[in-house]
Structure 1
Amino acid sequence: MNLTGQHVIVTGAGAGIGLGIVRQVRAAGADVTAFDINADGQAALEALGAQFVQVDVANCDAFAAAIDAAHAALGRLDGLVNNAGVTIQVPFLEMTRAQMETLWTVNQRSVLVGCQTAGRLMAAQKRGAIVNIASNHAGATDPGFEGYAGSKGAIVSMTRAMAWSLGPHGVRVNTLSPGMTRTEIVDAAMQDPDLAKIFQGWAADNAVNSVQEVGDAAVFLLSAQSAAINGADIVADRAMSVRLGAADKKENKDG
């Protein structure tokens, strides 16, 4: 999966899955422009050879301008990974309007803006690939994730429509829906052996995704090796969603 000579933008790149995607995209040979609302990850991103841009994807005008500027700086844009997002888990009857608005603006609207802005640039080039990071919660979820699951489900639905809007211009667009992944927060939680056992028990192979594994899946969807894949939702959750929301039989058996 060779991305040498290509230019890829990754949003939400400063930590977690975003940083893992940047690492794998850089390893595949691409130039990366890394967007994040916080500058905390700037040093790590620049150490990987990425160009850091501080931008809030919820600000439509600023986000679109940053994409245009990144394209102008390198004279091309071959890939976009819309990874920026927030997770809000709260009892449904207690969810506030502010929480709903945050989920909509960050998780869903930013993807629309990013895809449209990058899509126009890529259409002019007659080439490009977009990967929208959704979640396995788009297909199977739990109580407390109503707003989050809805925002991720919207990404999957929008992507299917975009495949036909952008496909005639040589641009592919797919979603990548990870399950439990060892971000910094999850890694810290898994220092508790009991939590580690629960998290591992959610997967068919008793493992938890690494950010590098999710990054590899994103690289595949950006690469020529996935040329036949357009409008698809690739669920990378080790079969977690097969039983998400059901009683954890393995945990009950062991406990």
Structure 2
Amino acid sequence: MTGSDILAGKTIVLTGGGAGIGWGIAQACCEKGARVFFCQRSDEGEAKAAELRGRGHDAQFMVCDISSPESISAFADAAIERYGAVHGLINNAGVTIEGDFLTFPLADLDRLWSTNVRSIFLLTQALVPAMPHGSAVVNVSSNHSVSSVAGYEMYAGTKGAISAMTRAMAWSLGQRGIRANTLSPGLTRTEAVQEVINASPELERGFNAMHADSAFATIGEIGGVAAFLVSDASKAITGADLVADHGMAAQLCRDDELK
């Protein structure tokens, strides 16, 4: 087995695979030889699955609202019915909501927790019985779990919860031979971020300056890390949080902020 087929013969279940970082993960897993079954809240993901199939990959799609326990259950049942065994689960889907700490709406708090945290617990719980020894779970967190800013208290709280939950999950699932890790991206060049840059090109320089190598992550880079974490190449890694943000969260502050 070579680096290009490290997921050959494996079935990977992925949430939020039709856009943003999830689309990068879906492509990377397919390119590494996996069968990928992914969901998105809207049916736009079907076109993405068709695109992957057009490239010769085995990709299937289903609409799923991960804030809904019933929808999660249906997605898990469909995965098990279609594939039997699930070798990798990547809980990627989530929402970002920014707001003033003192006036943050309860409805937004509930949406953040049900989408970002509860969904991971429920989908993992539902799929573990179909995951054989040697399988892996990757929960996508964020560098906000270790370094955040005002206005993101509730979002950062959900990402910190994902990281903490995953550390315990590594021990619970380890008894079954299943690894569990978090992947924490930072600023990533998704479609939405690129649209912002296109509208204000001067932001590109500022965004680059926030990173150690003067560049920020692409969805393909994050996808490659996720594919590695569900592959046998990362067998020794469990209970870990892999921050993939080009050094963004590693800096205390920039020099120009000290002047």
Q: TM-score range by the shorter chain?
A: over 0.9
How far the C-alpha of 1:65 sits from its partner, in A, is 2.5
> For the residues of structure 2 that align with 1:121 and 1:251, how far apart are their CA atoms?
51
1:148 aligns with 2:152: no
**1:127 equivalent among 134, 140, 154:** 134
List gaps (5 residues or longer) in structure 2: 54-58
1:22 aligns with 2:26: yes
**2:176 equivalent among 169, 178, 196:** 169
CA contact (8 A) 1:129 1:171 kept: yes
How far the C-alpha of 1:117 sits from its partner, in A, is 1.3
SS at match of 1:187: helix
CA contact (8 A) 1:201 1:251 kept: no
Please report the TM-score for the alignment, with normalisation by the length of structure 2.
0.92
> For the residues of structure 1 that align with 2:180 and 2:127, how far apart are their CA atoms?
11
Aligned to 1:42: 46
Aligned to 2:72: 63
Aligned to 1:110: 119
1:210 aligns with 2:214: no
How far the C-alpha of 1:34 sits from its partner, in A, is 1.0
Aligned to 1:90: 99
1:249 aligns with 2:255: yes
Number of aligned positions between the proteins? 249
Aligned to 1:236: 244
> For the residues of structure 2 that align with 1:84 and 1:170, how far apart are their CA atoms?
25
The one-letter amino acid paired with 1:72 is: E
CA contact (8 A) 1:14 1:39 kept: no
How far the C-alpha of 1:61 sits from its partner, in A, is 2.4
Percent identity among equivalent residues? 43
CA contact (8 A) 1:201 1:250 kept: no
> For the residues of structure 2 that align with 1:53 and 1:162, how far apart are their CA atoms?
26
SS at match of 1:231: coil
List gaps (5 residues or longer) in structure 1: none
The one-letter amino acid paired with 1:116 is: Q
> For the residues of structure 1 that align with 2:48 and 2:70, how far apart are their CA atoms?
27
Runs of 4+ in 1 over 2 A off after TM superposition: 248-253
SS at match of 2:202: helix
> For the residues of structure 2 that align with 1:146 and 1:158, how far apart are their CA atoms?
18
The one-letter amino acid paired with 1:33 is: F
How far the C-alpha of 1:15 sits from its partner, in A, is 0.5
**1:76 equivalent among 85, 107, 121:** 85
SS at match of 2:188: coil
> For the residues of structure 1 that align with 2:31 and 2:9, how far apart are their CA atoms?
12
Q: Which stretch shifts more, 66-75 or 97-106? A: 66-75
CA contact (8 A) 2:39 2:45 kept: no
> For the residues of structure 1 that align with 2:258 and 2:48, how far apart are their CA atoms?
41
CA contact (8 A) 1:19 1:45 kept: no
Please report the TM-score for the alignment, with normalisation by the length of structure 1.
0.94
